[in-house]
């Protein structure tokens, strides 16, 4: 998944000794909405977090609203780390009648790519899945923390407005 430092072999998991380039592309990164909204835009639809180019990301949140259109469905997904994120899911005209929409108040896991449409960031959804077990929310947040510490260093802030003061409880939790 997002673990670039290991690969699957016939004997199990083996570690690579090669150092990854800072400009490497992460294949799948668990994120928060706040991280996606504060990511640096390096070109039209290329975004980076701490010099790592984003490819696909996953976000877990609650649907605050949706708007079905002929060619797509737009959701507003909120994980309560920042303002809700606009999520766009493209649909085929013939598939639209068969699709069920996730209703407001439903927790979902969205996998997709970050794009910018008219200066507004949106997540172009590849998959939207309703969450049935609420432990997935906690699990996703733990994956976000682990991925951030593994790829971006232990002393950097997980969210832009969070500071790593050595004397705070926040430091003990997020800035090990």
Lowest-confidence pick of 7-16, 29-38, 100-109: 7-16
User: Does 55 score more than 60 pLDDT?
Assistant: yes
> What values do phi and psi take at 94, rounded to 5?
-75, -25
pLDDT of residue 20: 45
Q: Which band of pLDDT confidence, cut at 50, 70 and 90, is reported for residue 100?
A: low
Residue-range domains of the chain with CATH: 28-150 (2.40.50.140)
Tens digits of residue pLDDT in 70-88: 888 999 999 999 999 999 9
User: Does 33 score more than 90 pLDDT?
Assistant: yes
User: Does 174 score more than 90 pLDDT?
Assistant: no
36: helix, coil or strand?
A: helix
């Amino acid at each position: 998944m997002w673990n670039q430092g290991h690969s699957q072999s016939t004997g199990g998991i083996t570690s690579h000794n090669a150092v990854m380039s800072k400009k490497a592309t992460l294949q799948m990164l668990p994120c928060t909405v706040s991280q996606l909204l504060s990511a640096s835009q390096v070109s039209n639809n290329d975004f980076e977090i701490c010099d790592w180019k984003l490819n696909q990301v996953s976000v877990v949140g609650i649907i605050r609203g949706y708007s079905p259109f002929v060619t797509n469905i737009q959701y507003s997904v909120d994980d309560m780390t920042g303002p809700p994120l606009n999520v766009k899911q493209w649909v085929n005209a013939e598939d639209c009648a068969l699709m069920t929409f996730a209703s407001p108040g439903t927790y979902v896991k969205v996998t997709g790519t970050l794009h910018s449409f008219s200066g507004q960031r949106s997540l172009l959804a590849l998959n939207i899945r309703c969450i049935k077990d609420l432990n997935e929310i906690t699990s996703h947040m733990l994956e976000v923390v682990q991925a951030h510490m593994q790829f971006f260093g232990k002393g950097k802030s997980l969210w832009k407005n969070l500071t790593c003061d050595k004397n705070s409880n926040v430091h003990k939790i997020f800035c090990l």
